[in-house]
Amino acid sequence: MVYILLVIGLSLVFLGLYMIQEEKKTRSRTFKDFVVAEERDNSDYINLLASNQDLIRKVNNLDKRLGQLQEGCEDIREILGLLREESPTVENGEKETDIVYGDLEKRVEKMLRANMTVDEIATALNIGKGEVLLLKNLLVK
C-alpha cells in the first residue's frame, strides 16, 4: 500500500512539473505575441515620427524659400521706387544734362543687383547703354 501511494505521489509530482512547463510555454508564447504586437505598434509610431520629421524639414525649406521671395519683393520695391523717382527728363526736346552721377551710380548698382539687363537699366533711367556699361565696369572695380 505504501508503494502505491508513493507511485501515485511521484506521478502527481511529475504531472505537476509537466503542467508547469506547459503553462510556461503558453505564457511565453502569449508574451512573445504581445511583444510582436507592441513592436508593430512601435513601428507605426516610428513611421509617424519619421513622417513628422520629413514634414518639419519641408516646412523649414518652404520658410527659407518664402524668406528669399520676400527679399526679392523688397528688391523689386526698391527698383520700383527708383523708377518712380525723378529720372532725367526731356525738356524742350533735349535730354537733361544735369545728371547727378553719384545718385545714378547707386541706382545702376541696385538695378544690377536685381539682375536687370543693361538695356532695361538704360531705358528705365533714360540714359545711354554706354553710360550704363561704364558705370557697371566702374562698380565692378
Domain ranges of the chain: 46-141
Strand partners, 94: 91
Q: What is the pLDDT of residues 43-63, one digit of tens each?
A: 777 888 888 888 999 999 999
pTM score, two decimals? 0.34
CA distances to 67, 99, 121 from 79, in Å: 19, 19, 10
Mean pLDDT (the chain, rounded): 81
Whether the CB-CB separation of 79 and 111 falls below 8 Å is answered with: yes
Q: pLDDT at position 87, please?
A: 54
What's 95's DSSP letter? Answer: E
